[in-house]
Amino acid sequence: MRPTMDAPPPLETVLAVAHVVSIPLVTRFRGVTHREAVLLRGPAGWSEFSPFLEYDDAEAATWLAAALDDGWHDSEAPVLRESIPVNATLPAVAPDAIAGILARYGACRTVKIKVAEAGQTLADDVERVRETRIMLGAAGRIRLDANGGWNLDEAEHALRALEQFDLEYVEQPCASVEELAELRRRVHRLGIPIAADESVRKAEDPLAVARAGAADLLVIKAAPLGGIDRALAIVAEAGLPAVVSSALDTSVGLSMGARLAARLPALEYDCGLGTGALLADDVAVERVAPVDGAIDIGRVDIDEDALRRLAAPGPRAAWWRARLERCHALLGTDPV
Supply the Cα-derived Rg of the chain in whole angstroms: 19
Specify whether the CB–CB gap between 72 and 215 falls below 8 A.
Answer: no
Q: Which is higher by pLDDT, 30 or 142?
A: 142
Q: Is the model's pLDDT at 328 over the cut of 90?
A: yes
Specify whether the CB–CB gap between 2 and 329 falls below 8 A.
Answer: no
Q: Supply the pLDDT for residue 3.
A: 47
What is the 8-class DSSP label of residue 54? T
Length of the chain equals: 336
Residue 29: pLDDT band with limits 50, 70, 90: confident
**SS3 letters for 164-191?**
HHCEEEEECCCCCHHHHHHHHHHCHHHC
Is 3.40.50.300 the CATH number for 83-296? no
Burial class (CB in 10 A: 0-12, 13-18, 19+), 70: buried
Q: Supply the pLDDT for residue 204.
A: 87
Q: Which CATH architecture has domain 11-76+304-329?
A: 2-Layer Sandwich (3.30)
Specify whether the CB–CB gap between 213 and 203 falls below 8 A.
Answer: no
Comparing C-alpha atoms, which of 187, 128, 133, 120 is closest to residue 164? 133
Is 270 labeled as ligand-binding? no
Is 216 labeled as ligand-binding? no
Q: Supply the pLDDT for residue 126.
A: 98
Specify whether the CB–CB gap between 36 and 22 falls below 8 A.
Answer: yes
Q: Is the model's pLDDT at 253 over the cut of 60?
A: yes
First to last CA, the chain: 22
Comparing C-alpha atoms, which of 190, 194, 162 is closest to residue 177? 194
pLDDT tens digit sequence for 51-91: 999 999 999 999 999 999 999 999 999 999 999 999 999 99
What is the 8-class DSSP label of residue 236? H
Q: Supply the pLDDT for residue 6.
A: 57
Q: Is the model's pLDDT at 1 over the cut of 80?
A: no
Q: Is the model's pLDDT at 5 over the cut of 60?
A: no
Residue 336: pLDDT band with limits 50, 70, 90: very low
Q: Supply the pLDDT for residue 40.
A: 98
Cβ atoms within 10 Å of 192's Cβ, excluding its own: 22
State the Cα–Cα distance between residues 310 and 130, nearest whole angstrom.
37
pLDDT tens digit sequence for 204-225: 899 999 999 999 999 999 999 9
State the Cα–Cα distance between residues 160 and 145, nearest whole angstrom.
15
Is 197 labeled as ligand-binding? yes
Q: Domains of the chain: which residue ranges?
A: 11-76+304-329, 83-296
Q: What is the mean pLDDT of residues 271-284?
A: 96
pLDDT above 70 as % of the chain: 97
- Strand residue runs (E) in the chain: 18-29, 32-42, 45-49, 83-85, 88-90, 110-114, 141-145, 167-171, 194-196, 217-220, 242-244, 294-296
Specify whether the CB–CB gap between 122 and 157 falls below 8 A.
Answer: yes
Whole-number mean pLDDT of the chain? Answer: 95
Specify whether the CB–CB gap between 245 and 197 falls below 8 A.
Answer: yes
Triad 129, 135, 136: Cα angle to 5°: 85
Q: Is the model's pLDDT at 135 over the cut of 90?
A: yes
User: Which residues are designated catalytic?
Assistant: 114, 221
pLDDT tens digit sequence for 169-198: 999 999 999 999 999 999 999 999 999 999
Q: Is the model's pLDDT at 335 over the cut of 50?
A: no
Residue 28: pLDDT band with limits 50, 70, 90: confident
Specify whether the CB–CB gap between 7 and 332 falls below 8 A.
Answer: yes
Q: Supply the pLDDT for residue 203.
A: 87
